[in-house]
Chains A and B, each alone.
Chain A
Amino acid sequence: MTKRILIFFAALAICLAVLTNAPVASEQPPTTGDVLESITLPVPQDQNAKNYLGVTGEGSFTISQIKAQVVIIEIFNMYCNNCQREAPRVNELYQAVGKNPNQKGKIKMIGIGVGNTPLEVEVFRKTYGVPFPLFPDEDYSIHKATGEVRTPYFIGVKINADGSLSVFHTKEGGFQDPAQFLKQLVAASGL
């Protein structure tokens, strides 16, 4: 009888191990309160994009160098149906920031196209008239570093005085109402 009980608990332990480990990715997606690891991106060639981000020259820059207090990062994929559907609303979010004098210049947006080549990102940008800078993540390195999230995924970060990035909001999937989403972001960021 004792033997049977032991077998039962051993089996129970195995099943619980399967249960708890099933969906775990190699890196965990960022959550509110985390410090986001530095992300390095290429300086865009487009002058308007450079002006928007407040970066100059060539080479690369990090998100903490963006001239802003808050950066909204959209992790997307040109091939992802949900990202395509969400694109007009994401553009509306950008427009809403631009219309508010208290937010314009303080909140900037960027998009990172996971597994996308520069050409694929360009197709996405042109199709939807995306007004903010988009960057390819061809080798999925940024995607891996940010927990291999499903797309679209939004990460709101605050740029601290020391250049570190505090995550104040994350969202998987689209948002219904851009104005409402912006309100949430502003409240959570403490702008």
Chain B
Amino acid sequence: MLKRKIIYRGIFMGAIAVLCLAAVTYGASDTLKDNVYQVEQLKPIDSVPKLKVGDKAPDFTLPAVSGGKVTLSQYRGKKNVVISFVPAAWTPVCSEQWPGYNIAKTIFDRYNAQLIGITVDNIPTLYAWTNQMGQVWFPALSDFWPHGAVADTYGILRSDGTSERALFVIDKKGIVRYVDIHDINKRPPLDDLVKELEKLKK
């Protein structure tokens, strides 16, 4: 009798497990097609700002997907810099934001601005991700190790180790001119950035 009870319980649990697993797989099947990992609604901002307009932008050196390293101060006196931090590769909003910038090079050129993209992912992940964008014209940098150190310096490291979705405009003198720590769930409109770049000309 006891043996029979165990068998029934086993069948019951197994059936539930199979059905629930099927439910998860079915829900995700469409997204798997594009390899983009769907993320639920996240806390809009999960860090304490450390930088404000007028501050000197902290210098950093990070490895780039294309090889070599990029240092922020290498642009000093030459170009304005726009830093786009995105939370993580292969996530929905981020997987759109950079492809948009990728076709807006003329806008950045118009304001003599160098775009720099940074995520806390490692280089191989960033490589695979940016490659499927058809390669990007701007340096994509990895703030992977020490993990999120630059994001932390810029006050945008979230408690789960990703970064905020943030934009920093830094002028040729290395001064922060615009900070947009955006709701992580939303894409910042290009218009806001253009407005800020326009101000640099004045």
User: Which A residues form the contact surface with B (CB < 8 A)?
Assistant: 4, 7-8, 11-12, 15-16, 18-19, 22-23, 77-82, 84-85, 115, 117, 119-120, 123-124, 126-127, 150
> Could you say which of A4, A7, A12, A150 contacts B19, with CB atoms under 8 Å apart?
A12
Majority secondary structure of chain B interface residues (helix, strand, loop or mixed)? helix
For chain B, which range describes its interface: under 10, 10 to 19, 20 to 34, or 35 or more residues?
20 to 34
Q: Cβ of B96: which chain A residues have Cβ within 8 Å of it?
A: 77, 79-81
In chain B, positions 76-120 with a C-beta closer than 8 Å to chain A are 95-97, 99-100, 102-104, 106-107
A-chain residues with CB within 8 Å of residue B194 when the two chains form the complex: 119
CB pair B107 A123 closer than 8 Å: yes
Do A117 and B103 contact each other (CB < 8 Å), given the known contacts A19-B23, A81-B95? no
User: Is the CB–CB distance between A84 and B103 below 8 Å?
Assistant: yes
Query: Cα distance A126–B102 when bound, in Å?
Result: 13
Show 12 A/B contacts (Cβ-Cβ < 8 Å), sorted by A.
A12-B15, A15-B22, A16-B19, A23-B26, A23-B27, A78-B103, A80-B96, A81-B96, A81-B132, A82-B34, A117-B190, A119-B189
Judge whether B100 and A120 touch: CB under 8 Å.
Answer: yes
Q: Main secondary structure on chain A at its contact with chain B? A: helix
Across the interface, do A119 and B191 meet the contact criterion of CB distance under 8 Å? Answer: yes
Contacts of B8 in A (CB 8 A): 4
Contact with A along B134-166 (1 / 0, CB 8 A): 100000000000000000000000000000000
Q: Which residue on chain B has the smallest CB distance to residue A127?
A: B103
Report whether A120 and B190 are in contact in the complex, using a CB–CB cutoff of 8 Å. yes
Query: Complex Cα distance A150/B30, Å?
Result: 10
B103 to chain A, nearest CB (A): 4
- B42 surroundings in chain A (CB, below 8 A): none
